[in-house]
Amino acid sequence: MVWGKQAESCGEYLDKGSPILVEGRLQTREWEAKDGGKRTVIEVVAERVQFMGRARAAAPATVPAGAEPFAEEPGSGNDDVPF
């Protein structure tokens, strides 16, 4: 789950199949369904989302909560691998 400005940025800039990196936590919810059966879901609560980009996976754009994504100019010299 992504909330607030970060969710707005994801909705605006991501398409199905867009490569991203998500940092966050796992959250488990349990409830009883109308049919009486117990249901459980595990959700990812995003704290940070990185848009990996299609052409330059080595230079991801970081989108912290409340910030707009940015794109580096081609040939900017930032060829460091982020991990």
15-58 pLDDT, tens digit per residue, is 999 999 999 999 999 999 999 999 999 999 999 999 997 654 44
Q: Return the ∠ at Cα 63 (arms to 75 and 54), rounded to 5°.
A: 50
18 closest CA partner among 46, 49, 44: 49
The dihedral of CA 10, 30, 41, 43: what is its sign?
Answer: positive
Q: What is the CA radius of gyration of the chain?
A: 17
Q: Where are the domains of the chain?
A: 4-64
In this prediction the pTM is 0.51
Range 4-64 classified under CATH 2.40.50.140? yes
